[in-house]
Amino acid sequence: MASAVPVPVAGTPVSLARAWLWLGVMALIGSGLLAVLLVLSRTPGIQDVFPLKDLFRAALVVHVDLSVAVWFMAFAVVIWCALGGPGLAWLGWSGFGLAALGTGLMTISPFFPGARPVLNNYIPVLEQPLFFASLWIFAGGLTLAVLRALLTTWPRRLLGEPLRLGALVGAGAACLALAAFFWSWAMVPRVDGEIYYEVLFWGGGHTLQFQHALLMVVAWLWIAAYLGRPPVASPRALSIMFLVAALPLLAVPGIYLLVPAGSLPHMELFAKLMIWGHPYMAPLILLGAWSLWAVRGAPTDPAKSAFVSSFTLFALGGVLGYLIHGVNVVIPAHYHGSTVGVTLAFMGLAYVLLPVLGFGRAAGRMAVWQPYVYGAGQLIHVLGLAWSGGYGVQRKVAGADQFLTTLPQKIGMGMMGLGGLIAVIGGLMFVLVCLRALSRRGGQ
């Protein structure tokens, strides 16, 4: 391995990273099981045989929350622990305990009475006391983990450790997102219906996208260094790129202080923040592309497979974001492309970290092919959604409610179903590879 590869500090950072990695994998297992129902409920032919439309909505809520909220945030904490210092162990373990409890309650909440699904963006909910309790408990644990990250991941030299700085600004984005969620909960007037939860999670959800993108680049560069191809930019230049990418986050508190939370201008400003703010990441994305080109000659490795797949899906999702017109399935096509790009980057970094954290290595052909299978499935899934959206298929509906009346619509949604099933297989492969490595004792 190259000398540029970060090495976690032994003790608390490694132990916490191990625990949060286990939590993330467990969340993916639950999410993957629900994904099977989601794909079947929207696949032409199958949707008419099995009456899954009612189950679709409840399954979608928990699937999204486990695969996005829990998995993404759990692995974010893995990164913060692996790059952070050894202090404040009590804070770290308290946060993990609460987050694990919240995740467990969230997973079983659909089996309790009154689980009415609301399919708002970012964090869909079940209108049910147990589900809301799980969200609060998980958010409390995450708040403690983010606080610890802000206190322990400071670089020894501000412009000398770019990956630690990237992790730190990612933690700053998480802090702003949590503050936005709490502020909106306190200030947005309570009304019935989906619109309340839409505006409740709007500001914080948009802010979290910056955290995910920043940590995705950290994962890319970490993987490149692991493969013996550290970034061509100097540590100082790379650190400045991370700071530039984080500059749009300064607008988040301004929006909340100057515009009432939940108002139309509030929502419009956050939408514009996504359009105007993400281009600040262009230097980092270009550096990621350069690093991807540099690793082409590196030996076959699961992390390399994940890097290739991650960049491809994230780039496709970014392009589709600028092709959205109206409320149709082009929106989830963009969303899936971008988020799957982040997921694959985290999968690749998980493969890098497994032996570093004392587990076995992700070895064998299954590990090498897993990112390609998952990525190819998601690619077909995303292209099917984008195709169908061009023919007017609406989002967040299933079964006969999709009104698939034309052959192009049916072809597109058939692609979506096929790609989704392939992606489920790829996700199952990741879980199996991780479980096999997690069950073995390894070493650095």
- pLDDT tens for each residue of 6-41: 778 878 899 999 999 999 999 988 887 776 666 666
The residue count for the chain: 444
Answer whether residue 270 is part of any domain.
no
List, in sequence order, every residue forming a beta bridge with 126; answer none if it has no partner: 117
Question: H-helix or E-strand containing 249?
Answer: none
Answer whether residue 72 is part of any domain.
no
Average pLDDT over residues 399-426: 66
Residue 391 clears pLDDT 60, i.e. is over it: no
List, in sequence order, every residue forming a beta bridge with 359; answer none if it has no partner: 441
pLDDT (0 to 100) of residue 400: 42
Pinpoint the alpha helices (H) of 153-301.
162-187, 194-200, 202-226, 235-246, 251-258, 264-277, 282-294
> Which residues constitute the domain of residue 375?
299-444
Residue 413 clears pLDDT 80, i.e. is over it: no
Q: Which residues contact 151 (CB under 8 A, 6 or more apart)?
A: 87, 88
Higher pLDDT, 444 or 332: 332
Integer CA distances (angstroms), 377 to 313, 382, 415, 422, in order: 11, 9, 9, 5
Integer CA distances (angstroms), 137 to 40, 140, 147, in order: 32, 5, 16
Residue 45 clears pLDDT 70, i.e. is over it: no
Task: Label the pairing between strands 125-127 and 116-118.
Answer: antiparallel
Least confident of 46-55, 306-315, 369-378: 46-55
Instruction: Give percent of the chain with pLDDT exceeding 90.
Output: 49
Pinpoint the alpha helices (H) of 43-70.
46-49, 53-64
Answer whether residue 367 is part of any domain.
yes
Least confident of 17-21, 121-125, 331-335, 407-411: 407-411
- Between CA 38 and CA 58 the distance in angstroms is 10
Domain count of the fold of the chain = 1
Higher pLDDT, 398 or 81: 81
Least confident of 28-37, 107-116, 249-258, 359-368: 28-37
Task: Band the pLDDT of 120: cuts 50, 70, 90.
Answer: confident
Q: Which residues contact 189 (CB under 8 A, 6 or more apart)?
A: 262
Pinpoint the alpha helices (H) of 227-259.
235-246, 251-258
Task: Band the pLDDT of 420: cuts 50, 70, 90.
Answer: confident
Average pLDDT over residues 174-202: 90
pLDDT (0 to 100) of residue 133: 95
Pinpoint the alpha helices (H) of 84-201.
89-108, 129-152, 162-187, 194-200
What is the biggest distance separating any 2 CA atoms in the chain, rounded to whole angstroms?
61
Residues 216, 322, 334, 191, Cα dihedral to 10°: 100
Using a 10 angstrom Cβ sphere, with 0-12 exposed, 13-18 middle and 19 or more buried, the burial of residue 350 is buried
Residue with tokens 């994940």: 306
Average pLDDT over residues 34-56: 59
Task: Band the pLDDT of 186: cuts 50, 70, 90.
Answer: very high
pLDDT (0 to 100) of residue 3: 46
In whole numbers, what is the pLDDT of the chain averaged over residues?
84
Higher pLDDT, 352 or 317: 352
Rg of the chain over CA atoms, in angstroms?
Answer: 21
Question: H-helix or E-strand containing 410?
Answer: helix 407-438
Answer whether residue 358 is part of any domain.
yes
Residue with tokens 């496709």: 316
Answer whether residue 258 is part of any domain.
no
Answer whether residue 425 is part of any domain.
yes
Answer whether residue 224 is part of any domain.
no
Average pLDDT over residues 80-100: 93
pLDDT (0 to 100) of residue 99: 96
Question: H-helix or E-strand containing 116?
Answer: strand 116-118
- Between CA 444 and CA 18 the distance in angstroms is 14
Residue 392 clears pLDDT 60, i.e. is over it: no
Residue 441 clears pLDDT 80, i.e. is over it: no
Higher pLDDT, 46 or 71: 71
Q: What sign has the CA pseudo-torsion 305, 18, 123, 110?
A: positive
Q: Which of 155, 156, 166, 161 is nearest to 235 (CA)?
A: 161
Residue 411 clears pLDDT 90, i.e. is over it: no
Answer whether residue 106 is part of any domain.
no
Task: Band the pLDDT of 397: cuts 50, 70, 90.
Answer: very low
Least confident of 4-8, 27-31, 200-204, 323-327: 323-327
- Between CA 123 and CA 197 the distance in angstroms is 8
Residue 91 clears pLDDT 90, i.e. is over it: yes
- Between CA 409 and CA 406 the distance in angstroms is 5
